[in-house]
Each structure stands twice: as C-alpha cells, then as structure tokens.
Structure 1
Amino acid sequence: MGSLLMPLLGSVAAKAGDMLVGELLRAWGLDKARRKLERHLAAVQCILLDADAKSRTNPAVHQWVKDLKAAAYQADDLLDGFRYEALRRRAAEIRRRHRCSRAGKVLSYFTANSPVVFRLSMSRKMKDALEIIDELVVEMNKFQFLQHKESPSVDHPQTHSHVDESEIVGRQDDKEQVVKILLDHSNNNNDNSNVMVLPIIGMGGIGKTTLAQLVHNEQRVKLHFELVLWACVSDKFVIEEIVRSIIEVATMKKCELTHMEALQKKLCEVLGKKKYLLVMDDVWNEDRHKWDDMRSLLNSQAGSGSAIIVTSRSDQVASIMGTLPPHRISLLNEDRSWELFQRNTFQREAEKQEELISIAKNIVHKCKGLPPAIKTIAALLRSKHHSQWFSVLDSDVWKDEILTSTAIVPALQLSYDHLSSEEKICFSFCALFPRIA
C-alpha cells in the first residue's frame, strides 16, 4: 500500500505547489494552510517506506497507512477543485467585459453557483482536510518511523560465485547442458569479433544464480577458460560500476579509477585478448543502448571463444543481450522436490517418520517445484508437532502465513518494485478481481 501511496502523495504535493492554485489560495487567505499541507506531505513522504514495511506486522500502523491513503485522496480531490476554480476565474477574466449587467453579477452571488458560497464551502473543506492530516502527522511522530531523504532504491544483496554443490538438488542436468554449450561454442568458434552471450532465464527463486555458480566452479570450465569472472549487476546497470567490478575480481585488488577512459584502458589490460567466461548475475537492464556500450567494451579485448552468462527473470533482457536462445530453468519435479524437502525437514530420520510421508508429500506437491517455497514449508514443519502437519496440509491459510514472511515475498516484491508508479497502480487495481481457476 505504501508503494502505491508514494506516487499519490507526490501528485498531491505537485498540485499543492501549482502556481494557479497558489494564487487562488493566497487571494482567499488560505496560503498558510497550503504551505502547511506541503510541509506535511514532505514529512510523510520521508517515512512512507518504513511505514509500509511496519504496516505488514503492526495493525496500528496498517490502519494509519489506510487513513493516510483516504486523506490523500480527499486532499487530491480538493486541490483539483481549487485548480478548476482558478482556471474558471482566468477564463472569466477574459470574458468579463462581455458579461451581463451589474445587477446580474450581483444576483449571481446568491445563486446556486455563487462564488461566495463556493469559497466558503472550499475553505471549510480545506480546513477539515488539514485537520485530518494534522492528526495523522501527530500520530506519525509517535510511531518513530525511520526517514529517508531520497527515493530509495531496492536493496539487493550482492551475490558471489561460491556454492556448496553437495547442498544443491536437481540442477545437475542443467549444469551439464550449460557447460556443454560453453565448451562446444568455444572449441568451434574462430571469430573473436563477438562474444557469445547465453542467458539463463527463470522466475525469482528458481535457482538461476545457483546454476551460474555451479557452472562457474566447474573444473572443466576453469581449465578451459583463461579467466573466469563473476559480476553481480542487479537493478543498477551502471557501466562504470560493472567494469570496476570485473577489474577488481580479475586483479583481486580494489580499483580506485573513476573516469571511464581510465577504466576502459584498465579493462583492456586485464582481459588482454584472453579467452574469458564472465557471469553477469541478476541483470534487469532492458535498455539496448546501455548493453551495446557494455558489449563493445567486452568484445574489444576478448580472446577467441570467450563467453558471457547472463542470469535474469526478464525475457526482454534475454532478447537484448543473448546471442543464443536462453536456457530456461524449470521447476523441480516431484522427486527432486521431495529430496529437497527431506534434506530440510527429515534430514537422516526419514525412515523413522513413515506415518508422515503421505502428508508431507502432499504438502510438497502444493509448493509446485519452487525451491524457496519447499524450504519455507520445511522450516515451518520443523517447528510444528507432527500432529499439526495435517492441519497445515488441509488449510489454505498456510499459503499466506508462509509466503508473506519468507524469502519468497522479497523475490516477488523485487519484481513489483521495478514497476513504474503507473504500473503499480494498475497492478493494485487488477488485484481487486478474483483469480480465475
């Protein structure tokens, strides 16, 4: 809800600062109220993200955010009314010399469309709206929300290349397929003008980064390529930062260079026409021009047979960056899902839990092969007595309770956070309709 409020409050603040609205409110003696409204809106926008986060677990904060939303819509409608009146007055000024007689103008002050009545009505509404927002700001201060000064970016944890292969379930076939593509391409490629780019595509949490880690650490890959590099890209596709990251990984030294020309020359020195494999993990960039600039740098000093692996949730990213069709990761099948569940629940005591096997398999089936969901259910069941497992299986409530408090929601939240303000509002609107089975 808070992420939807951000564009709404921004719109209200823009209307409060509108020049025409300001002129009208000054003429009506309401400029002080307008400026107070602007200050309140600025204060609320600074804490909105923290309020949104806390509203998920604190009922009082949830109600406060709900009341704020209603107050924001009320203020938005009110300011629309002021702007309409300001525009009407400006048009009337142009026509003033051609209006009716003075008697007619005096009479108009006492009709249903009287500007005096309108002014009194709107002034009262302004006062009422400001009183509500005043109360919300006083209550806001009691919650002691954390502030942010700028529109924050999504916090993405940095990924790395390390993985414990013994802990991975169900990705061995995927690894072999990707390794084969890399080695076959490299052995058959005599053209170093273009680096091969293989996208690995799949939904959040399905195991794209894990697969890339497995390939990165495969001994055959390390022996085949002269350089094997890892770069976590995430949502900010800043070429300077990516180049600096590649340089630091290749040299194992901090790169202090800031100018793009110096970074470009250092990258050429590091790559040095060597045959390299670069993993670009968690790419969101859908700007073709940015990728073209990055690709030009990576191609310029690539040895024959060099390759890039790109992991992303976006088909558009695969279309822009890939030189080969993307490798799509599928959900775990029933056997692999059960194996993963056992590792995280029964561990080595599965033989002693025969009475739970049937219930547990049905619960795993509900996870539909998504690894984070399976691990989440496993963690939940470990904390429950065996007698409670059937109620977990039989109830639909467990979906909300689990999926809203685990790693699954951040994965989905990340996708939502990358929508534009307008798309977020559309998403919220569509959520009003029931899902068709």
Structure 2
Amino acid sequence: MAESLLLPLVRGVAGEAIGTLVQTVTRMCGLDDDRETLERHLLAIECKLVNVEERSQTNGYIKSWMVKLKAAAYKADDVLDDFEYEGLRRKAQIGESTSRKVLGYVTCRSPLLFRFAMSRKLKAVLNKIKELVKEMNRFGLVDSVTREEPQLPWRQTLSKLDESTDIFGRDDDKERVVKLLLEQQHQQKVHVLPIFGMGGLGKTTLAKMVYNDQKVQQHFQLKMWHCVSDNFDVSAILKSIIKLANGTCDQADSIQILQKKLDEVIGRKRFFLILDDVWNDEKRMWEDELKPLLCCVGGQGSVIVVTCRSKQVASIMATVKPHELAFLSEEDSWELFSNKNLAMV
C-alpha cells in the first residue's frame, strides 16, 4: 500500500535536513533554525510511525492524516533539494574568477532573492508539518507501542564559543550589546534585553560572543547560560539557574522553595543570565510567573539577555529596547559562503 513508504520517506527527508550542504546554505540564508525545527519535527514523527500502518487499516482518520503527511514530506524533500542544488551551484563558483562570482552574485542569482523565495517555501512546509504534529499529539493518531522510549531532547545550546569557527559581520552588533550591558551598572532593577530576528541569523552566536567578551566576564560577578527552547517551564528554568549558580535543588522542590534557594545562591551579586532560544509568547507566564522571581534577586546592574525569533516575545520580555539582528550584508554573506565551501574542499 502507498502508506508503506511513509516511514522510509520521512526518515530520508530528516536525513537530508541534516546534510552538510543543506545546513551550510540554510545557515548562510538565515534559515537554519527553521531547518533545524523541521528536522526535529520529522524525527519526532519518525519515532511514532513504527506501528501506524496497522492502525490505518481500520481507522480512516489516521489513513487521511498519513496521506497529508506524505504530501508534506514530499514538499519538504523538494525544498531541501533546492537548498542542496543551490549549494552545489555556488560551490562550483568558488573556482571562477572574482569578477564573475560577484557579477553572478548580484544579478541573475541574487542570494537575497533566493533567500526570500526559499524562506517562504520553507516556512510553508514547516507550518504544514507543525499542524500535522499538533494533530498527531492532540488525538494520539500514531501512538506507537514503544511508549516507553524517551522523548527527543529539546535543542540545547552552550555558552562556549568555538574559536576555530570564523564569524562574519557581527562585531558591530556585539559591541553595541556589550556597551548596553555595561551601561546598566548603576541600575537598581534587573533589566531584560532581548536579541531577536529571523531564524538562523546568528542570535545564539552573537549571545556567545557577548557572553565570552572579556569586559563582560570582568564586569559580572555571576554568569549563567540556560537554553529554554520550546520548554518554557518555570520550575525547570529556576532549577537550572540555581544549579548554574552552584546551588542544589531536589526534583520535588516547590516554587516557594526554589525562590528561597535562588535568593540564597545569587543574593546581591551582579549577575548576567542568558536565556537562549525563547519561544513563549504567553505574557502571563513571563509577567506573573518567571519575571517576579528572576528580577527580585541580584545586585545593581544585573542583566538578563533573551534570544528569540519573535518580535512579540521580545516586546513581552523587554525592559530596555530590544536589539534586532539584521541580515548579513552581501559582502559578508559571500565571504561566509566562500569560507564554508573552501573548508569542505
């Protein structure tokens, strides 16, 4: 039956999404977060498709869902093929003369035009996959017998900056953010600075650059990094921060106990906290639950930096003007791509 090809199809598209060439082009286009989200959703579906065919024989709704998923997977495959083809085309240009490369770069195959066109295509297929995943989770459409298998971990990031990786076009952004952080030194309240922009533009990389800046390291008494991702759980965030500040906590600790421990480990220290990859757009969860806990500790000049894609998330959490991350310039984009491809040769 047609559905019998669904699992290998999804597995193949997920594998294509993690291909080196696809990752290189999506990163250069500022779309790598969307690519990564697509990858995670496909892997989550793959984990639950093991025994779905048997249920589709007697459940018309599941069979209909599988048909929609198959169509969406083929569309995702086409989009990823476009990225791969573009990567191969540009890689071939590396050996051409500089004048021909620059001419081709700004005329018939402009990266800006490609970036915007592919952004629409990728977001369209990603939104469709997201809808199908929500439907899958809401109605238990593909509930596998392997329930005991652990959930895939959410995306995690680290504060360490890979010194072997060249970073292009973000020095000015770093200097502006660092200057703003240091200017808060006499402020009594904990301020929140969001860095927001389209997925893949380098928000996490910029945050790492700021976090590891020598002036920042010397200015703050306590520095912490927590990747929030899709899991905006107040208790989990508090426990992570307490541990990062060299405290301890138990799984069963209540919010009241965590608040007390947070005050004990941070006290009046001037702290710098990065909450990376925040997706939560529920104002109540921030205003009523997490903000009162994080902003009532720490000494003068304490700052929280938040990275997020959404301008709405940035506006909800900001206490100072958010820093919007723009696209790389044409020159920096070409330099980045050339550097990536030369490294692959």
Tell me which interval the TM-score lies in, with the shorter structure as reference length: 0.5 to 0.7
1:170 maps to what in 2? 169
Q: Alpha-carbon deviation of 1:52? A: 8.6
Distance (whole Å) between structure 1 residues aligned to residue 258 and residue 243 of structure 2: 11
Residue 337 (str. 1) matches residue 325 (str. 2): no
Look up the match of 2:250.
256
Q: Which letter maps to 1:346?
A: L
The answer for the alignment partner of 1:318 in structure 2 is 314
CA distance in 1, matches of 2:152, 2:324: 25
TM-score, length of structure 1 as denominator length: 0.45
Gaps of 5+ in 2: 4-42, 51-55, 69-142
When residues 72 and 231 of structure 1 are mapped into structure 2, their CA distance, relative to the original with a 3 A threshold, is closer
Structure-2 residue corresponding to 1:138: none
Counting matched residue pairs gives 219
Contact 1:199–1:327 (CA under 8 A) maintained in structure 2 = yes
**In structure 2, what residue type is equivalent to 1:255?**
C
SS at structure 1 position matched to 2:245: helix
Q: 2:324 aligns with which of 315, 324, 328?
A: 328
In the alignment, is the contact (CA less than 8 A) between 2:154 and 2:231 conserved in 1? no
Contact 1:281/1:311, CA 8 A, preserved across alignment: yes
Displacement of 1:324 after TM fit?
Answer: 1.6
Aligned match of 2:100 = none
Structure 1 or 2, whichever has the larger Rg, is: 1
* 1:42-191 mapped onto 2 (5 Å cutoff): 49-50=45-46, 68-69=63-64, 147=145, 149=147, 155-167=153-165, 168-186=167-185, 189-190=186-187
Query: What is the one-letter code of the residue matched to 1:345?
Result: N
Q: Please show how residues 228-377 of structure 1 align to structure 2 within 5 Å.
A: 228-251=223-246, 255-257=249-251, 258-292=253-287, 293-347=289-343
With over 3 angstroms needed to count, the CA separation of the structure-2 counterparts of 1:331 and 1:70, relative to structure 1, is closer
Aligned pair in 2 of structure 1 residues 51, 263: CA closer, same or farther (>3 Å)? closer
Alignment equivalent of 1:223, drawn from 204, 215, 218: 218
Report the aligned-residue RMSD: 3.4
* Distance (whole Å) between structure 2 residues aligned to residue 212 and residue 178 of structure 1: 9
- 1:175, 1:215 within 8 Å by CA — same for their partners in 2? yes
Kindly provide the CA deviation profile for residues 40-82 of structure 1, in whole angstroms up to 9, marking residues without a partner as x: xxxxxxx99228989xxxxxx9xxx999228999xxxxxxxxx
Equivalent pair of 2:48/2:144 in contact (CA under 8 Å): no
1:428 aligns to what? none
CA displacement at 1:265 relative to structure 2: 0.8
- Cα distance 1:339–1:259, how it changes in 2: closer, same or farther (>3 A)? same
Checking the alignment, whether the CA contact within 8 Å between 1:50 and 1:147 is kept in structure 2 is no
Q: Name structure 1 gaps, 5 residues minimum.
A: 3-46, 55-60, 74-144, 348-378, 383-437
The answer on whether the counterparts of 1:165 and 1:214 sit within 8 Å (CA) in structure 2 is no
Once residues 260 and 217 of structure 2 are traced to their aligned partners in structure 1, the CA distance between those partners, rounded to angstroms, is: 25
**Following the alignment from structure 2 to structure 1, what is the Cα–Cα distance between the partners of residues 160 and 193?**
20
TM-score by length of 2: 0.56
**Higher relative contact order (Cα pairs below 8 Å, separated by 6+ residues):** 2
What SS does the corresponding residue of 1:317 show, helix, strand or coil? Answer: helix
* Structure that is richer in helix per residue: 1
Over residues 121-153 of structure 1, what are the superposed CA-to-partner deviations in whole Å (9 max), with x where a residue is unaligned?
A: xxxxxxxxxxxxxxxxxxxxxxxx965649x97
Whether the aligned pair in 1 keeps the contact of 2:44 and 2:152 (CA below 8 Å) is no
Distance 2:294 2:44 in 1: 41
The amino acid of 1:285's aligned partner reads N
Counterpart for residue 403 of structure 1: none
Residues 250 and 344 of structure 1, relative CA distance in 2, 3 Å threshold: same
Q: Are residues 1:203 and 2:198 paired?
A: yes
1:71/1:244 CA distance change after superposition, 3 Å = closer
- Separation of aligned partners in 2, 1:66 and 1:165: 51
Give the residue type in structure 2 aligned to 1:169.
F
Shift of 1:314: 1.1
Letter in 2 for 1:157: R
